[in-house]
Structures are given as structure tokens and as C-alpha cells.
Amino acid sequence: MKKQKLSLIFITCLGLIGIFIVAFNGWSQKERAITREEQLKLPQSWSVEDASSQPLFTSVEPSPDGKYTLVAQKYPPQDEKQKPLLVITLMENKSHKIIWKTPLDKNFHSPQWSSDGNYISFLSFNEKNIPSLQITPFKTFEPQIALEKEGLAAYLWSPGSHQIALISRDIKRIESLTIEEGMVFLNTEDEIEKTNLLILSDPLDKKNISKHVPLKDSTIPEVFSKPEMILTWSRDGDSLVFVSEGKKEGLFSVDLKSLRIEQIHQGGHPSYPVFSPDGKYLAYVADVAKEADHFPIKRRALFIYDLETKKTTKQLETPLGNPILLGWFADSQALLVEEGYKTLRRLYKVPLHGESVEVLNKENDQLISKVSLNSSSTQIGFVLESLTEEPAASISSIESFDPRPLFNQFLITLPLQAEVIKWPSFDGKIIEGILVYPLDYKKGARYPLITALHEGPYGAWEQKFLGGCANNIYPFSPAVFASKGYAILLPNIRGSSNYGIDFAKAIDKDIGGGDFKDLIAGIDFVIEKGVADPEKLVIWGWKYGGYLATHAIVQTNRFKAAIVGLGMIDLISFSETAKDNGFLKSYLGSTFWENKDLWLIRSPIMHVEEIQTPTLLLYGKQSNLFPIGQGKELYYALKKRGVPVKMLLFTNEGDEVDLSTQSIKAGLEHTLAWLEQFLSPDPNKRYSSDVTHKRKNTK
């Protein structure tokens, strides 16, 4: 009996000890989890690996009833053999519960809700790279192919969900031979031969009917963002309105019963057509002035077309003349509009009948982007971020802007200081920019300053998350450089967007003039603030910014290092070899043979004897807009003159494609190594690159 009692006591003690151990381990694991979460929320620095692996939100689409949201994310490819990984998640808004995710071994993109909210559709590619339209019931991920067709580019559901309009393109492949450094290359390039508009009736029926709408001489432009930019359905589903470019530029409607096509608006680069909920009006965006002005940036406005009288009856202005039309309010009495505003983006409610424009997100100091309005005109989805807070997929009612984040990937808040600053330029014009302070910044100490110039020139630095690499299109992450002890200036010099048309036109016939003086004034301002070390200045630029960075090192030897990405070096050869060869004529106001002096003065290669700054060149071998020959001209000229120069060539990437994780890492690491080589006084502290990037061509 005593033995039994002792055994029972022993077993009980063991049980209590076991419970204590389990509880302790659980508590310990919980503490470790909390600690890890806190580390993610507030990292101590930001590495090349962190920046190169950042996912991007590509769309946030609320359901028609506002209860669910489709969130699409894109992850950069690991190397040149892979494509970006696209993941689409269906979430319940109230609980933030994930209903389903697309599988990682399939790439779905361009998600849409059917107008009734019962189905979700995507585009996908098979093993032969042929696109297909696939549809699934929204609560269960069971996609079925509705149409598979080569050249399928975009699609849009009709209001009743009984039809889908599709845009497809007949592609002609052009082959050519080039000889480069003793080697012969076979080049292939796809050219759009014909654009087709197809109507898919009863898309859920396996015997669905595809109707071809002949467009004659009209050409629907390529879809760079969403199909709503170029295509819209009438409320009764009997007609479509589409944008045409080329010889028959304008806005056209097509009656789907008679196939009769009528022109609504001639010229003016129209976009974002959308019918009012009551079916009485068509709203769209177009250029205000139609006169022959060589400058490419025009003031744009909202136009209202009366469907009964078949006349454009109203022209509505926005504060800065560059609206993106998102849709109508449900009562058909106002338009929902997005527009860049300085370093942020604003949402406007634009009434039809003369009332003042209302700023919906005026009290919010975070950046919104990728805004989508649901089909019932009640809710918007968007990406919300700030300079130090990672992007989050978010939703809000359009009647009262109150952002509700759904989820973000890492819950990261960067431990960096950054602010918007302003300074007067040479002519009194006030220039704005973003100043990022180095990690562990101490007031009174001076730091190396990187001045980074954005692409464009009609673009702008906005208050995007500093840890990313601008949608993975160039290898520059301010947080990486701030973590290494650099201050960063992101100036929105004249010519930038988000400050009005007059500000954009301030570089008309003057590229490399006033814009260069603006950036120099900004650098001097940061030096006067006591932040920048005047002996450790760096200039970085991409595309147009790459041109201006090269122009800057021609004008002054103040910079200790320069990084030029896809820059225009020889304006004359660029104008005759680049794909978009009308760009320089539109900004300089003439061809080079009509105004030789201006072209030669503003062409960096003509003044290469002035350059003393060590220069790192970054180019994509597949770039058509910014040919690698531009970089090679500068590389060989500086090499012959004995100026330190290196060229990093991404052989499988161009100018508008997604840089892979490997390429972003290579670009960042080589840039850091270049800066350390020419800015660090102590050789022992120099950054050493261990990149073995097979796509580089470092010379």
C-alpha cells in the first residue's frame, strides 16, 4: 500500500514537473516570438539583403459588397532565369482572415472581381508562355480556363457579369544581326502588328462565344497599369468605350449589336473613361490644350460627355492639372480622383456642378498609391506607406477616408530620421526634397551626402518606404546607404511632376540648366544645415537623373564619386538610336541639326575633358530606351583619360523590367564598394564586394 502511495506521489511529481517544463518552454517560445516580432518591427539597420528581397503590392481590389479584398503581391526573381513571383490573396476585411492564396508554382496576375462579386478572374501563362483567362468562384480557389489565346493582354467584366471584353495583340517577331566587339548577335524584338477587341459572352459556359470587334485603323494602346485606363463598359452592357492612339488618336464608342464605331473625343491623349452609375454621363481625362506645343507635358482635365446629347458638356479642373480618374461616387454627382501632390498623393472629390474640390485624405500624412474603387462605388483599396513604415494593403470608405490596414509582410518600422525640406534656387523658385539622415545621426556631426536624381524628368520622389528599391526597377535603397552612415538628399528639381504644369515646363529648352542649379542649391542648403560634409559629396542618377548626374560632373569637380544609371551621354547619338527618339526633341524644342549649339552644350560627351570624378556606370544590355552604347562612350573616354571608371552591365535586363534579387544586390554592393573606395580616408574601413554576379561586365 505504501509502495502504491509512493508511486502515485512520484508520478504526480513527474507530471507537475512536466507541466512546468512545457509551460516554461511555451512561455520561453512566446517570449522569443515576441522578441523576434519586435526585431522585425524595429530593425537596427537595413542591409543589401533586406532591400533586394522586398515584395511589392501591385493591386488592392475590394469586393463589390466591401466584405472581402483581393491583394496582389510581386516578389523579385532570384536570378535572371526566373520570373517575378506573383501571389494573390483573398482576405475577409472584418476578421483579416485569409480565405485562400494562389499556389506558389503558378503565376496569376491581373486579378478582378466579377461585377456581381461571385467570381474572381486572373490572367495566367502556360508552359508555352501562352496566356489564358481563368475564373474561379470567389470563396474556393478552383480556377477554370475561360479562354486561351496568344497575345491576350487585358480584360474587363461587363456590369452584369455576363460578358468580358478582352484585348489581344497579333505579334510580329523581328530579327536582326548586330556586330559588337568582334561578336555577332542575333537580336529578336516583338512588334505589335494588330490590336484586337474580343467579347466573351457567357464566360462561365464552356461553349462561350467569342466575338471579334473590327477596329479598322484604331489602335488600342498597351496597358501599363489597369484596363480601366483604356476601356469601359456602358451600364447596360450594350456598348464599350475605348482609347485609341496613333493616327486615329482619341476616344471611341462601339455598339456591340451593330458594331458601329463613333468618335467621342479627338486627340488629346484621352484616358480613364468611365460611365456614371445612373448611365447618363461618360467621364474621362484628356489634355486641355490641343495646340501644337512641342513640350510633351500638357495640362489635363476631367471631361463630362452627355450620352443623351452626345456632346462634351463640362470640363472640370484639378489643383495640379494631372488627374487620375478612379470612378464616380454612387450618386453620380461627383468624381473620385487621385493626383500627385508634392511628395504625397491626394484623393479628391470633384463635384459635377461647380462646388469646390474636396481633399479626402488631407489629414493623413502617409503616401497612398495603387488606388482601386470597387464596382459599387463604396470602398477603395490602396497601398499605404511612409518613409519609415513599410507598405500595407489598406481599405477605406470613400465617403469618409479612414484607412484600415489589412496586413503587411514584415511589420517593419525603420529607425531612421527623414524630413521634407525646402530651399530657394538661383531664381527664387522654391524647391522641395526629402532629406534622409544617417543611422545614429548626431546633431553637429557632418556626414557624406548622396544626392539622388529621379528618372523622368517628369517624375518625383514621394514619401515611399525608404527600404525598397523603387518597385525594383533600379538598385538604390536610401535605407541601405543611411545604415552605412550616409545622408541622402532626394530633390524634386524643376521639371518634376506633382508641382503643377508650370513647374514641369520650367526646363523647356533648358535641360541641364535650371534643374542642375536647383540640385546644387539643395546640396549647399544641406551643407549650411550642418548635415553634409562638403568634402564628401556623391551624385547618383537613373535615366534622366543619370544624364543630369553626368552633366553635373562636367560642370563641377565637387563630387568625390558619381553613379550613372542608364544615363544619356551623347545627346545626338541617343536621339538617333534610342527607341523613344522624340524625347529630346520635345524637351529641347528642336532637332540637333536645327539647334546644334544647344545640343552640343548640353551633351556631356562633348565636355568629357572636364570630368575628374570617379564614375560607376550601370546599364542594362536589353535596354531599348537607353542603349548601352551611351555608357560605353563615356566608359572608353574616361578610361583613355585615366579617370577611374567601372561599368556594371546587366546582360539579361533592360530599363523597364523587374530587376532580380541578384541584380539588385550586385548594383547595391558595387555602389557601396565604389563609394567606400573614393570617400573613406581609412583603407581598412573600405567596403569589399564579394559579388560573383555572372551578368555583370565590369571593366
Comparing 335-349, 485-499, 616-630, the range with the smallest average pLDDT is 616-630
CATH code at position 56: 2.40.128
- Indicate the residue among 179, 213, 247 that finishes a domain: 213
User: How far lies 620's CA from each of 474, 569, 652, in Å?
Assistant: 10, 15, 7
- Tell me: pLDDT of 27 over 80: no
Given strand 311-316, what is the order of strands in its sheet? 271-275, 281-287, 300-306, 311-316
> Could you count the other beta carbons within 10 Å of the beta carbon of residue 685?
9
* Domains identified in the chain, total number: 2
Instruction: Work out the pLDDT band at 81, boundaries 50, 70, 90.
Output: low
- Which pLDDT value is given to residue 177? 53
Q: How confident is the model at residue 621 (pLDDT cuts 50, 70, 90)?
A: confident
pLDDT band at 485 (very low <50, low <70, confident <90, very high): very high
pLDDT at residue 558, as a whole number: 97
The whole-number pLDDT of residue 524 equals 98
Q: Do 183 and 144 meet the contact criterion of CB atoms below 8 Å apart?
A: no
Task: Report the DSSP beta bridge partners of residue 397.
Answer: 379
Range 676-695 average pLDDT: 48
Query: What beta strand segments (E) does 293-359 contain?
Result: 300-306, 311-316, 324-328, 334-341, 344-351, 358-359
Quick check: is 151 in a domain?
A: yes
Q: Is the pLDDT of residue 535 over 80?
A: yes
If phi over 0 gives left and psi between -120 and 50 gives alpha, with beta otherwise, what is residue 653? beta
Among residues 154, 180, 213, the one where a domain terminates is 213
Residue 455 to residues 299, 497, 656: CA-CA distances in angstroms?
Answer: 20, 11, 12
pTM: 0.88
What integer is the mean pLDDT of 603-628? 91
Helical (H) or strand (E) element with 25: helix 2-41
Q: Is the pLDDT of residue 23 over 60?
A: no
Which residues, at least 6 apart from 276, have a Cβ–Cβ distance to it below 8 Å? 235, 282, 283, 328, 332
pLDDT at 695: 26
What pLDDT sits at residue 487?
A: 97
Q: Tens digits of per-residue pLDDT, 666-675? A: 999 999 999 9
Pairing state between β 183-201 and 163-180: antiparallel
In a domain? residue 194: yes
Provide mean pLDDT across the span 476-501. Answer: 97
554 belongs to a structural domain? yes
Mean pLDDT of 126-133: 89
Rounded Cα gap, residues 360 and 437, in angstroms: 31
Out of 213, 245, 276, a domain closes at 213
Q: Contact, 668 vs 475, CB < 8 A?
A: yes
Which amino acid appears at position 643 of this protein? V
Grid cell, residue 396, equals 477605406
- Condensed to tens digits (0 to 9), the pLDDT of residues 304-363 reads 999 999 999 999 999 999 999 999 999 999 999 999 999 999 999 999 998 899 999 999
Q: How far apart are CA 626 and CA 621, in angstroms?
A: 9
Let me know: does 198 contact 166? Beta carbons within 8 Å.
yes
Q: How far apart are CA 347 and CA 502, in angstroms?
A: 22
Helices 514-528 + 544-555 axis angle, to 10? 70
CB 652 within 8 A of CB 622: yes
The dihedrals phi and psi of 37, each to the nearest 5 degrees, come to: -65, -40
Q: Is residue 13 part of a domain?
A: no
Q: Kindly state the cell numbers that stand for 388.
A: 519609415
Residue pair 661/81 in contact by the 8 Å Cβ criterion: no
Own/partner pairs, 62-65, CB within 8 angstroms, 24+ separation: 62/93, 62/372, 62/374, 62/379, 62/380, 62/381, 62/395, 63/113, 63/117, 63/138, 63/374, 64/113, 64/115, 64/116, 64/117, 64/374, 64/375, 64/376, 65/117, 65/376
Residue 174 — pLDDT band, cuts 50, 70, 90?
Answer: low
Q: Looking at residue 639, which CATH number applies to its domain?
A: 3.40.50.1820
Q: pLDDT at residue 31 above 70?
A: no
DSSP 625-659: SS-HHHHHHHHHHHHHHT--EEEEEETT--SSSPP
When pLDDT is cut at 50, 70 and 90, the band that residue 172 belongs to is low
Per-residue pLDDT tens over the stretch 98-118: 999 999 888 898 999 999 999
Question: How would you classify the pairing of strands 615-620 and 559-565?
Answer: parallel
Cα atoms in the 13 Å half-sphere on the side-chain side of 521: 22
| 666 part of a folded domain | yes
Please write the tens of the pLDDT for every residue from 372-405. Answer: 999 999 999 999 999 999 999 999 999 999 999 9
Cα dihedral: 674, 680, 685, 691 (round 10): 0
Mean pLDDT over residues 246-271, rounded?
91
Q: What is the DSSP string of 222-250?
A: P-SS-GGGTEEE-TTSSEEEEEEBGGG-E
Q: What is the pLDDT of residue 620?
A: 85
Q: Residue holding cell 531664381? A: 427
pLDDT in tens, 418-432: 999 999 999 999 999
DSSP strands (E only) in 543-586: 559-565
Domain contains 411: no
Answer yes or no: are the C-beta atoms of 115 and 158 closer than 8 Å.
Answer: yes
Q: Is 331 exposed, middle or buried (0-12, 13-18, 19+ CB in 10 A)?
A: exposed
The parent domain of residue 99 ranges over 42-213
**Does residue 294 sit within a domain?**
no
Whether the pLDDT of residue 698 is over 70: the answer is: no
Residue 228 in this model has a pLDDT that exceeds 60? yes
pLDDT of residue 49: 92
Q: What is d(CA 335, CA 353) in angstroms, rounded to the nearest whole number?
A: 11
Give the model confidence (pLDDT) of 285-296 as tens digits.
999 976 567 899
Share of the chain above pLDDT 70, in %: 84
Q: What is the 3-state secondary structure (H, E, C) of 586-617?
A: HHHCCCCCCCHHHHHHCCHHHHHHHCCCCEEE
Cell numbers representing residue 97 in the block? 482572415
pLDDT digits (tens, 9 = 90+) for 209-222: 777 877 766 677 76
Confidence of residue 36 (pLDDT cuts 50, 70, 90): very low
Q: Whole-number mean pLDDT of the chain?
A: 86
**337 is a domain residue:** no
Task: Give the Cα separation of 247 and 680 in Å (integer).
Answer: 56
Omega cis (within 30) before 296:
no
What pLDDT band is residue 77 in, cutting at 50, 70 and 90? confident
Residue 560: is its pLDDT beyond 80?
A: yes
Q: From 559, 568, 668, 659, select the one nearest 615 (Cα to Cα).
A: 559
CB neighbour list of residue 188: distance below 8 Å, 6 or more residues apart: 173, 174, 175
Average pLDDT over residues 10-22: 43
